[in-house]
Structure formats: structure tokens, C-alpha cells
Amino acid sequence: MSENLRSQVVTQGVQRSPNRAMLRAVGFQDEDFTKPIVGVANGYSTITPCNMGINQLALRAEVSIKNAGGMPQLFGTITVSDGISMGTEGMKYSLVSREVIADSIETACTGQSMDGVLAIGGCDKNMPGAMIAIARMNIPAIFVYGGTIKPGHHNGRDLTVVSSFEAVGQYSAGKIDEKELLEVEGKACPGAGSCGGMYTANTMSSAFEAMGMSLPYSSTMAAEDAEKADSTEKSAFFLVEAIRKQILPSQIITRKSIENALSVVMAVGGSTNAVLHFLAIAHTAGVELNLDDFEIIRARVPVLCDLKPSGRYVATDLHKAGGIPLVMKMLLVHDLLHGDALTITGQTIAEVLADVPSEPSPDQDVIRPWDNPMYSQGHLAILRGNLATEGSVAKISGIKVPKITGTARVFESEESCLDAILAHKINAGDVLVIRYEGPKGGPGMREMLAPTSAIIGAGLADSVGLITDGRFSGGTYGMVVGHVAPEAAVGGAIALVEEGDTITIDAHARLLQLNVSDEELAARRANWQPRPPRYTKGVLGKYAKLVSSSSLGALTDLDLF
């Protein structure tokens, strides 16, 4: 059987002589026209430290693909740095970039009739963007994570970029001086790699390893370590083998593998963004998944790892302690993982984990033993109530006060809320409402790391709540609820909240409630008018027109016809 099932449409036959002429110009020889053409989707960029080391990985993959008998074709895809755009209008493009990345990979691979693709990414949206494209195309594929950043160090503690965000709040509250603020700023990000805690990038890379779409141990490697490049080389080899064996994403991205991924997300204390992204990936792959499924998994999976943002350690510490395979093995032996799920290597999960220990070493405390977890149940909770009839997402680990009923302080944008926090206008017992930041209303569903970090820095994390139809960074923790749906822009109840109302957030009851009568809500709704769109052209205009509710994954191709 020909190894270039798809690409032979551009390499075989007399009529394809001009096509071959073009390919000869990029290095093809006579013997290469029957080899599989393998795309390398290269997310290299100096926009962000997350992606600045990726080009060397792409070049290593290129050599490995050639050695394995394939013909690599490199192409670029974009990224937006969440950390750099955070708190600005530019952050509206972050979630949008997930769709742009997916579209660009699909366009290049399908437009060039490639036989498979190795996607390399670093910053948060690179992973789900690539996986959505992979699920759409259903050609042999593997994801290679660019690697995590190593922690910075200051006064005996590990730093991440979130340390710098929190230092802003500490400075504004008078807890540190400008010299200390600059010390943290200068040491928080010491080199290449994605943000170091179990934030969104490391959450999604870990989930993809658990799903079988990346190689074992690859999701927690440091970007600057030699093993990262070695793993990339192996990934390229396994991809060419998958092309020969026609191991397709539709065989790997299944209900079982997504449940495996979400179980690992719960066990490592991962980002709320995993909810949004896996709803999108599952829909694209044709797998049934909804918000209630996250609650089912949360109820049965403990949090096993003590990782930032609410814990003590970073991804490189998790790697040294045994990485994602050790976490997976612990779940597997307690019947919380589907061992028969297929991986890109051709092995099942059980076969991949056969030689992995089933208990963590007592010489470390990053991964807790099964009988002494961080929390007995998962941390990502789905809250509902009259404020979120479609659902909302909260990270309930690491909070000391699981229930708050407080006075609503209403803000029409992230910036106005942050200004109020830094001006000391927020008091204990307040529940901040940031609205018109949803997928359509923002548009783009910005992350609220700046205000949530400022709340923490000001010492209000346990006494102030925050709800939004926007998102949170994986670095966020505290009594905060995001993804509130329906969003304000489409008339969701969050648009009807008035200054001085009381709001209840109850993590244990999984409740998000506006404490006004149904009659009063109906009267407010009758007087509500939709706002004109903030953008009417360009990528944000198109996104706002097409994007679905966050409760469905914020996809742009959900209801096209």
C-alpha cells in the first residue's frame, strides 16, 4: 500500500508534472514522490517566551521525519502571548487565536494534501487550536509541547509570571515597595518556555499526553532541557509510523480518551480553561460531552498534586517526581482511567504505563499518595443558578471560604474593575461582577488575571468574590466564577445585575444565584436592550458574529448551517 495516501494526488501521474516541479524546488528527488508528506506546524515566535524555543524543535522534527522515511514540509502558525496581552484590548485576540490556529493548520495541511502533521506549540491556545484542527482533518497527527519555563527564584521562593501579577496588587496595597516589585518582575521569567505552574499551557499539554496524542513524559519537560528535543525527535518517528499504520485521530480522540484527559486535569489541579477547550475538541471530534460530564468526573477524581497557582510547586517539580505517567498510573490502578484507550504509539494506555510505579516516591511531596490527596474530589466545579442557567465554571480548590453572599459591585469591563481594586474601592464582602466580556460581548472572552491577582495581592482573596462571563487564566485562584452563560451580550442574567444586589456563590452546593425575585428579574429583562457590537469588521467582528456560547466551547463553526 502506498505510504502517501493523500499526497499522491499532487505527486503521481503525468498531469502532476507541474506540481512535482514545484516540489523539486523545495528539495524533492525522484525517489521522494512516493514518500508521505508530513507537515510540521511550527508555532515558533519571539512574541513570547512560551514559543521562542520552538524553532529548534521543528528543525529536529524535520530531520527525524526524513530519517524515518517521510518528507517534511514546515509551515508557520501564529500565537498570542496571554501574559503580555493580559489586561489590555489585545487579550480579546487570545481565545480568537485558538480558532485562527486551527484554521491555519487545517488550511495548510488540506490545501497541500499532507499525509500527516506534527504540531508544535507553546502558549495556551496553541494546544487546543492544534487539536481542533487535528480532529477536523482526521489525518495521522501528534502534538509536541514546546516545554515549560523553569521557575525564577527570589528570597527563597519559586516565581512564575503570576508572581508578578500578584506583586502589582501587593504594591498597590502598600505591602511591598517599588524595589521589591521590580525584583519580582526581573526574576519571574528566566528563559524560554510556557508559564511554569499548572496553568493553561501545562494543563493542556498534560491532558494531551493523557489523551494519547503526545508521548509519555513530554508534557512536563522544560523547554530548555535536551530531553525536550530528544522527545520531539521520537515524536516525529512515531508519527511516520502512525502514517504507515494509518492510526487516525478518530481512533485516539474518543469518549474514553477525553475522560482520561479530564481525569488527569482534575488530579493535577488544572486550569478552568480545560473545560472550554475540551468542549470544543470533543464537539469537533464528534464525541458527546457537556458540562455535566465535568461534574461526574470531578466527583470521583481526587486532586493528587500540590501545584501552583494554589499549591507550592511548578511543572518541572512534577516532572522530577514522576510526571503525568505516574499520575495516570495511580488513576489507572484505582479504576479511574480507561486502560484500553489507544495512543499515537499504537500501544494502549495500559501498555504505555505497564512499567510505571503505582505510588509516588516518599522522597517528594509534589504528588501525594492516594490515601492522602490534596483534596478528595476534583477542583473544577460547574455552578448553576438563575445567574448561570447554562452553567459557569469555578476552581474550588485552595479556597478557605467556600460560600459567600455579598454585595454586587458591577463593572462593564475588566479595566474598570481593576482600577477600582487598585484604588482601594473594593471591600471585604463584595462580589465583583465583570460583564460584557463573554465570547460575543468582549468579544473574545478575556482572561481576568490582572483583577484576580490584584485581589490576592491586596489580601482580599478569602473575602471577595468575582463572577464574569469572561475567562480566568490558569494562574487564577480564589472565590471566582467564570464562563457565566448565557453571557451579558445575549441577555443573560449577568446583564441584569444592579449595583447593591446580593449574590451568592456556593462552591459546595454548586450554586450561583442573584438574590432578587423572579418578578424583578423579568421586569429588568423587559427593559434590557442589547448593546451594539464593539467590532463590526476584521477578525473580532467575524468572531463575534460566529462564536457559540462558552457552555458549548465557544466554537466558530458550531451553527454555520
Active-site residue list: 473
DSSP, collapsed to helix, strand or coil, labels residue 222 as strand
- State the cell numbers at 391: 452553567
15 C-beta neighbours (distance < 10 Å), count: 7
Question: How many residues would you count in the chain?
Answer: 561
Q: What is d(CA 420, CA 172) in angstroms, rounded to the nearest whole number?
A: 11
Residue 442 half-sphere exposure toward CB, CA atoms < 13 A = 34
Q: What is d(CA 194, CA 223) in angstroms, rounded to the nearest whole number?
A: 8
- State the cell numbers at 121: 506549540
Q: What is d(CA 393, CA 381) in angstroms, rounded to the nearest whole number?
A: 6
Check if the beta carbon of residue 395 is closer than 8 Å to that of residue 382. Answer: no
Radius of gyration of the chain (CA): 23
Check if the beta carbon of residue 51 is closer than 8 Å to that of residue 223. Answer: no
Dihedrals phi, psi of 41, to nearest 5 degrees: -80, 105
Secondary structure (H, E, C), 97-126: HHHHHHHHHHHHHHHCCCCEEEEEECCCCH
Dihedrals phi, psi of 354, to nearest 5 degrees: -55, -40
Check if the beta carbon of residue 446 is closer than 8 Å to that of residue 440. Answer: no
Q: Is 134 exposed, middle or buried (0-12, 13-18, 19+ CB in 10 A)?
A: buried
Check if the beta carbon of residue 196 is closer than 8 Å to that of residue 469. Answer: no
Helix axes 92-111, 538-546, angle to 10 degrees: 90
Non-local CB neighbours of 301 within 8 Å, separated by 6+ positions: 263, 266, 267, 331, 336, 377, 378
- State the cell numbers at 544: 463575534
Closest CA to 63 of 44, 29, 40: 40
Q: What is d(CA 130, CA 41) in angstroms, rounded to the nearest whole number?
A: 9
DSSP code, position 494: G
Q: What is d(CA 50, CA 269) in angstroms, rounded to the nearest whole number?
A: 21
Q: What is d(CA 458, CA 309) in angstroms, rounded to the nearest whole number?
A: 16
Closest CA to 539 of 236, 220, 67, 99: 99
Dihedrals phi, psi of 40, to nearest 5 degrees: -120, 100
Residue 378 one-letter amino acid: G
